Structures are given as structure tokens and as C-alpha cells.
A and B are shown apart, each in its own frame.
Chain A
Amino acid sequence: MSDVLAVTDHRRGELRDVSYELITAGRQLANETGGDLHIAVISGTVDDFAEKLNRNGVDAVHTVSHGEEFNHDVYTQTITQLYDELAPQFVLTPNSVNGLDYAPAVANQLDLPVVTDTVDLETDGETLIATREMYGGKVETTNELEGDAVVTIRGAEWPKAEGNGDASIEAFDVDIDEDAVGSTVNGFEEVGGGDVDISEADVLVSVGRGIEEEENLSIIQDLADALDATVSSSRPIVDNGWLPKNRQVGQSGKVVTPDVYIAIGISGAVQHVAGMKGSDTIVAINTDPNAPIMDIADYAIHDDLFDVVPALTEEFGG
């Protein structure tokens, strides 16, 4: 009988979806170990959050009212204290940008192994079998470890927990050593605004690193013009400064749901897919038949974009 402690994610007054997904993943593990599922919610309007998190399958919600926004030192100190108090077998956190800012520190401080970005978890109470990807999603691997561990879960892999729960909600009395808090969050800024909103487009002609050179972008623009569509891109195109930030699709860019998304020379890394998998129809043009984008594409052309794109433009009189 071993418990699971799951640490939720929120930002600027809102719980993030992965928090509810953590409940599902955590409940599943707790069923397998025969233990309880504890949820921690740290900083912000924790009482309000706790009510929302009290869903089916949660045994206890531990609230820690300390500060408004995420601070990794506060999180690390709180979670290690909760671990000492509750002695869970698994500490589950989201594999979010903030999750990656504390989970490895928690693991190291507690002398536990850390396994990140998991997409599937299974345990018999002793061995944990964690499934994760390697090589940008080209392969999946299973990894085993014994005993306690810190595990981060990939977003949108587990369904969100639903239904009202009957968890106990307890304020956890944390002892924060302010001297050990060495970073200060001074604010937030939205980036990627501007004249074009790619999330409004019906058809996106989206270009990735397969385009190779900035000059070659003209064939993408020509296609978009011929189709009366909008150009978007994967991250490297924006990192290179070839297109502005407001064209970036993905985890750190925009989430788009057009009628048709044409991914041209884009491999389909998870952070990209997070921004476009809700598109109605996905078409991939890629020389690599094994590219991860093929797993979510509805239609695919396994061919050179420099041949296919001009031919398509010509189809539409471009």
C-alpha cells in the first residue's frame, strides 16, 4: 500500500488542464499500489483551486497558501516537506515548463530517481514501468525503476478527471526558509501579438525546418497566396528570425484548429503537435515516412516538398 502525491499546475488564477489529467494518472497508479491519491496545490487562491480539484478519485487535497504565483524554491521546499509527511511512493508533476523547473530539484533533494515526460505508467506496487519517447518521437521506450520516484507526465496523454469527489481538504503547514528563496518573479509578458492571428485561419500552410533556407520560404508564400491561406510555421523558422513569433504553432506559440492544416517539412515533435492536433484535417508533406507527424496526419505525401509544393501551387494557377 503506497500513496501517490500529485502536484498541480496553475497560472495567473487558473488551474491548467494538466492538473486534472494528473488526477487521472495519479488515481490509476494509486489503484495499482492500493494506496491513496493526495493532491497538492501550492500558491494562489488555493481554497478555490482545492474545490475545483476535488474530483472523483482524489482522497486528499493539501493546500499551501504561500504567494500568488509559481516560485520554484517555494514548490521545492513544500513538496519535500509533503513527501516527508505523507511518505508517498510516487510524486507526480506535470512535464510543463514549471514542472521542469522544480521536479528535478525535488528528486535530487530527496535522492530519488526522476523520469520525465512519461506518456504511460504502470506499476505492480514495486516496479514502475514508464513509457516515454526518444529521438523526437521516432521511438518509444519503456523504462523500469524500483521504489520511490519523481515522475513528470506529458500533457494531454491522460483524460481529465471528472465528477465531484469527497476528498478531505487540508491546509498544509509549510515552513518556508525565505533565505533559501533565490529567485523572484517580477511579472509576465505576452509575446507573439501583431496583425496576423493564425488561430483564425481556415487553412494553414505551415512550414518547418525542411525548407532549409530563408529564400525558399517564397514557395510557401506562393502556395498560401494561391490557396488564399495563411502561413504558419514550426519553431525553428521563428527561432531563425525567418517569420515573426505570431506565426509559431505549438506549445510555446499558438494553438490552432483550422479546417485544413498542411504541415510541410515539419517532423511533428510533441511541442509542435500540442498546437495543431485539434485541426479538422491534417495533411503532411515529408520525405520521412517515419516522421512522428505521420501518426496524427489524415493524409500524407512522402515526397520532397520542393517538388510537391510548386506542383500544388500550379494546380491553383499560382
Chain B
Amino acid sequence: MKILVTVKEVATVEDEFEIEGTEIADQYLGADLNEWDDYAIEEAVQLQEDGIADEVVTVTIGPEDCEQTIRQALAKGADRAVRVWDDSLEGVDLLDVNAKTEILSAVIEDEDPDLVLTGVQAGDDSFGATGVSVAEEVGYQWGAVVNHLEHDFDDEVASVRRELEGGVEELTDIELPAVLTIQTGINEPRYASLRGIRQAQRKELDVQGLADLGVEESAIESELTLTDMYEPESESDVTVWEGSADETASELGELLRDKGVAP
């Protein structure tokens, strides 16, 4: 079985930040492997270690700066990586779900995997929609918010648990080929070993443009336009206790005694 894992480098924001136009100013931004994708990579690598997957390929839409994040995925055990980028994507401040679907499905059609693992959501823009949209586009089956996957695939079926609200899990069988969106907690993502990090430097990282994938520039024009970004207004009148830890702790202590909930 061949597995394709979608891997996003997400933007992280410092505690204090400023907004410039419809973006957070660059100096307050960092980058990280999307938390949910880390679990997806781990699941794929475990399937490989269990002898079920023969090949694990990652795909990332992102500029060259993302290669560090991609190498992280390779260091954890993925075999090779595809990175998609194009001049026409430069300066686009929001890639909507439809645009990502166009690009990722072109890669799926090239690679022809049996199983595609994505994260439930990207930690930065959090659409939570890319995996299911891609599945529909390529005609694969799918399951959203998967927190358990059986590693046997009898009769070309993935037996999963979907994590619903309120501590209820749905037990579902999904025919392959399929896209599963992976929820945190499904496994324990590993740290890359030193050996893994060394090996990752030599693994294939193939860069493709839109033309290579046969995707028209017009197809990736976002239909959604980001028009404003601001800090949300606080809904509560929060009382902030100031001072040393001893002082703030004693304020809180007093509150608890006032409420009659502390000894």
C-alpha cells in the first residue's frame, strides 16, 4: 500500500503581535509543522513499520522556506516528499479550500496512493475542510476526524473510529482508496532521531509547479477574499490581578474563600 500524507507548515504567532492590513506583521510570526499533520505522519510511518505500507510520500503546498518542516517529516520516516509552489502563489494571503483541493488532487492523481492522510485542520487558518474536499474531487472515499485506525485493511476496507462530540466515537468502515483526516491523540508522534535527521537530508524532495501538475492558474484563484483582520473584542469584564506571584495568588485565594469553595 502506498500512503500520501499532506503536510502543512503553519504560521505561529507570538503572544504580543501587531496586525498590518490583513496580516500579522512578519516579525511576530514563526513556523511549525501542523500539529494534526504530525499525527498523520506518525500513523503512516507506523503502517510502514507494521509492513502494511510500502511507501510514504508527503506533499506540501508552500514556498522554499517550508523545506525545513518537510525535512522534519522525512526525518520521522517518510520516504520522499513533493513540494508544490509557483510564482503565481507568491503573495497570495489566503489559499482557500477550493484552491488547495485543485493542487492536492493533481498530486494524488500523479501519485495514485491507496490511502491519503491529512490533518483534521491546519492550526493557523483552520478550515477543517481540505481532506474531505480533496476526497470528493478525486473520487476517493473519506472519513473526517479519525482517532483510531485498524492496521489490517481486510477486504480493502479501513476500519476507523471517528471522534464525535461529547465523548462518543463512531465505528465506521470505509472502502479504499480513501482520505482520512487524522485527529490528535490517535498515536504518539515520535521525535526524529539523529540518524533520521541525517537520512532526511538525502531523501528526495521533488519541487513541482502548477504547470508540471497540469493545474491552470485560474483554477487556484481563491473565491474567498480576506478583507479584514483584527483582535476580537473581549466579551467579559475580566479583572486582572497584578503584582508578584505571591500577591496574585493571595488575591485568588481570597476569591476562593469568598466563594466558600476553599478550606
Contact = CB atoms under 8 A, between A and B. Distances in A.
Contact of B15 (A107, A139, A284, A289): A289
Contact of B224 (A108, A145, A190, A299): A145
B232 A299 contact: no
Given A238-B185, A239-B185, A302-B240, A245 B230 contact: no
Given A139-B19, A143-B225, A188-B168, A294 B98 contact: no
B245 interface: yes
B224 A144 contact: yes
Interface residues of B, number: 87
Interface stretch (A170-178, A212-220, A308-316): A308-316
Contacts of B125: 134
A203 B224 contact: no
Interface string A187-222: 111111000000000110000000000000000000
Interface string B2-15: 00000000011101
B167 interface: yes
Interface string B181-218: 10011001000000000000000000000000000000
Given A117-B128, A295-B232, 11 more contacts: A96-B165, A115-B224, A133-B126, A143-B227, A183-B175, A185-B172, A228-B263, A292-B232, A294-B234, A298-B239, A301-B251
A228 B241 CA distance: 23
Contacts of A229: 261
B73 to A, nearest CB: 19
A115 B226 CA distance: 11
Interface in A283-312: 283-284, 287-292, 294-304, 307-308, 311-312
Interface stretch (A19-27, A41-49, A81-89, A251-259): A251-259
A315 B245 CA distance: 11
A189 B168 contact: yes
Nearest to A203: B261
- B124, B169, B178: residue with the most chain A Cβ atoms closer than 10 Å: B169
Nearest to A73: B141
A134 B171 contact: no
B145 A108 contact: no
B246 interface: yes
Interface in A11-42: 11, 16
A234 to B, nearest CB: 11
B135 interface: yes
16 contacts: A101-B142, A104-B132, A139-B19, A140-B229, A142-B226, A185-B172, A187-B170, A188-B169, A190-B168, A227-B263, A281-B255, A289-B15, A295-B232, A299-B252, A300-B241, A312-B253
Interface string B58-72: 000000000000000
A263 to B, nearest CB: 12
Contacts, number: 274
B143 interface: yes
Contacts of A129: 227
Contacts of A107: 97-98, 129, 133
A245 B232 contact: no
A143 B226 CA distance: 4
B101 interface: yes
A303 B248 CA distance: 9
B167 A97 contact: no
Contact of A101 (B19, B143, B237): B143
A134 B229 contact: yes
Given A189-B169, A294-B234, A307-B245, A101 B250 contact: no
Which 3 A/B pairs are nearest by Cβ-Cβ distance? A239-B185, A311-B249, A307-B245
Interface of A: 11, 16, 72, 76, 95-98, 100-105, 107-109, 113-117, 129, 133-146, 182-192, 202-203, 226-229, 235-236, 238-241, 245, 251-255, 259-260, 262, 281-284, 287-292, 294-304, 307-308, 311-312, 314-316
Contacts of B135: 105
- A109, A202, A290, A314: residue with the most chain B Cβ atoms closer than 10 Å: A290
Judged by DSSP, the binding face of A is mixed
A269 B171 CA distance: 27
Contacts of A289: 15-16, 240
Contacts of B47: none
Contacts of A103: 129, 132
Nearest to A146: B223
A298 B238 CA distance: 5
- A240, A241, A282, A301: residue with the most chain B Cβ atoms closer than 10 Å: A301
A311 B123 CA distance: 34
B239 A299 contact: yes
Contacts of B256: 203, 227, 260
A137 B232 contact: yes
B173 interface: yes
B171 A188 contact: yes
